[in-house]
A = this chain, B = another copy of it.
Amino acid sequence: MKKTSLLTFAFACALPIAAHAADSPSMDGPLTIAKQGSFFVGGREVKSDALSTVPLFGATGTITVDQMYVRYQIPMQPKDYSVVLIHGCCLTGKSWETTPDGRMGWDEYFLRRGYSICVVDQAWRGRSAASPVALNMVKTGKSAPDSLPAFTAAGHEVAWTVFRFGAEYPQVFDGMQFPLEAQEEFWKQMVPDWNYSMTPPVPTVKALSELSQRLGKTVLISHSQSGIFPFQTATISPKGIAGIVSIEPSTCPASNYDMAALKGVPVMVLFGDFVSKSEVWSKRLAGCRDFAAAAKTAGVEVEVVELPSVGIHGNSHMLMQDKNNLQVAAWLVGWLTAHVK
């Protein structure tokens, strides 16, 4: 009865057990964790007369915004540094969890490899509160319509190209490893994004600095839109930052970036496959190579890697969800082990 129930539940969740190359017995089967939970970092109070247009609630009062939601799990024998997984544009922390086709996400992979993991929702996204004030000011005629903040969704068609599933929707690159058979589940991960209404650095960066300092020793693993955030975080303070992994950053630090912030912080900038087939990603990669050259000259330990150059092929922009996502993660664990002290 109980066995049946477990199977029923697993089936209900439509999540077949991951068929990956287990590199230790603990990569499959039951998982024992020392502790798990969630909390927030950052945040500030806002007083407003435009919190609501619903009579039940009243318009006037205080809310808290800019905080960042953090879910964590600690393995039984954790390494002496944790990893923080930071999602990209129009997505949430879900990016790092179960893949659209039901395989293990990087959150659990790193946990099973002995890392304490933190998965965040950027400020103003997911479980991290946005403010309704600007919207309600317009709704009640107190502000002009064009004062509404940018609230940006990426359509499936645009995302298809940006995520390098193919040259353009609905074409597919030969050998591309994103599980397109589960694309409907993937599109459900995408949420509208308030970041384009903000002046950088966005509030997530300040929250990441608070988190890094509380953790004491952590590697910030960012993706796409958030690719630049660890570098901005290091500028606030290098405290707690043991390494930076910037996965397919939409931008790398500019030429005026103060490299002193990266002293003693190993940096990996990682790209997938098909970059040369994308004009936008080719430019971004070139920008990162320029940054890396300048950083090396300044004595920073930095590498820019395209996965095909290390024998891993077919990766899209969403490489943490690709069919070979754990192969990529395993390669990254190797890099962390070699470089993070």
Contacts and interface: CB of A to CB of B under 8 A. Distances in A.
Interface string A113-145: 000100001000011111110011011010001
A40 B155 contact: no
Per assembly, the copies of the chain total 2
B34 A33 contact: no
A156 B97 contact: no
Contacts of A138: 138, 145, 148
A39 B61 contact: no
Band of interface residues on A: 35 or more
B52 A154 contact: yes
Contacts of A74: 6, 9-10
Given A2-B78, A127-B94, A139-B146, A152 B14 contact: no
A232 interface: no
Contact of A98 (B38, B43, B192, B215): B38
Interface in A212-254: 214-217
Contacts of A71: 97
A40 B214 CA distance: 32
Contact of A139 (B58, B145, B190): B145
Interface string A172-213: 000000000000110111111000100000000000000000
A198 B237 CA distance: 44
A61 B187 CA distance: 12
A31 to B, nearest CB: 5
Interface stretch (A79-87, A263-271, A318-326): A79-87
A148 to B, nearest CB: 4
A336 to B, nearest CB: 15
A215 B10 CA distance: 8
A286 interface: no
Interface string A36-73: 11111001010000011110011011111001011110
State the 5 A-B residue pairs at the shortest beta-carbon distance, nearest first.
A61-B155, A37-B98, A12-B214, A40-B188, A139-B148
19 contacts: A2-B77, A6-B74, A8-B215, A8-B216, A12-B214, A15-B37, A30-B76, A39-B102, A40-B185, A51-B155, A61-B154, A62-B157, A62-B187, A64-B187, A67-B188, A94-B127, A121-B126, A127-B189, A141-B146
